[in-house]
Structure formats: C-alpha cells, structure tokens
Amino acid sequence: FFDCVYPSRNGRHGHVYTHRGHLNLINAQYELDSRPIEEGCQCPVCRRYSRAYIRHLLKAKEMLGMRLCTEHNLYFYNHLTREIRSAIEEDRWDSWKRKALDDLREEEEKHEAMKQPKYYQKVANERIFRKEQGDTMRDPHDTVKEEQMKEEQAVRQETEK
C-alpha cells in the first residue's frame, strides 16, 4: 500500500485513489462526469479539473492526464497519512478506521452494481443516485436486502457463540 511507486505507476494508467476506493478514469462512465476526482479534495487537480477532462487526456494519450492522476494520488497518500497520524495522536484511531472502512464498503456496493446485466445496472444506478441526493423514499429491494443482512448477522452471531 505504501510502496513508493504505487501512486505514480497506477496514476499513469488512470487509476486514482479516494477515501471511497479507487477509480479507473479510463472507464466510459467518466466520459461526461464533471465532478472532481474526489468531492472535497483540496489537491490542485481536484480544484481545477473534472473526471471527464482527465479521462479525455488519458484516452488521447496526453502526458498531462497521467501527470494529473499521479499528482492527485500523491496528494491523497500524503493527506491519508496525516489523517492516520492525527487519529492515532488524538486517540480516535478505532472510530477513524471504522468510518474509513464503512465508506469503502459503501463504494464497493456501487461497484458490485456495475457487474450486473444492463437492466439491473440501470436500477442500481437509480438507487445510488436517489441515495446520493438524500431521497428518503424506501425501495422494496433495499428492504429485502436489509432483512437478508439482519438474518446473516444473526446467524454469524449464533456461530460465534
């Protein structure tokens, strides 16, 4: 994870890292995405460029695209290390780690939706959009999934005893 070439080598291939997981900006889903690599990131790349523009540069084999991805990744790693150090010094490591892992799990669910057939991708993307927009309308699929998760958790707890 803290390999000295990891952020730059992967950046040259369009892979960027965020608190919610990694993105491959070469993927078509970012073609019209006007958001920065990571919302709220204060790196020079996220303050000035969109995912769509960086994707365009990468697809056109422009060196600037690779450089921007690398710059973001290096900033991300430095910032992440500072956050970890602060969490340890302020004795809040457990809560910081729990939140970080929860954020990654949430993003993983979004990526799982992309592996589904096209129809289900559309449904999953609509759910994700509603959730991001703060829509409180309950989706029947979400209720079923929550019930399944509760049942699985109960089984796990019984097995642990």
pLDDT digits (tens, 9 = 90+) for 90-118: 999 999 999 998 888 877 776 665 565 55
Mean pLDDT by runs of 10 across the 161 residues of the chain is 77 92 91 93 96 96 96 94 95 93 79 59 65 61 65 80 68
Spell out the alpha helix ranges (H) of the chain. Answer: 6-12, 44-48, 51-59, 63-89, 93-113, 118-132, 140-160
Return the pLDDT at 88: 96
Return the pLDDT at 96: 93
pLDDT digits (tens, 9 = 90+) for 79-88: 999 999 999 9
| pTM for the structure as a whole | 0.66
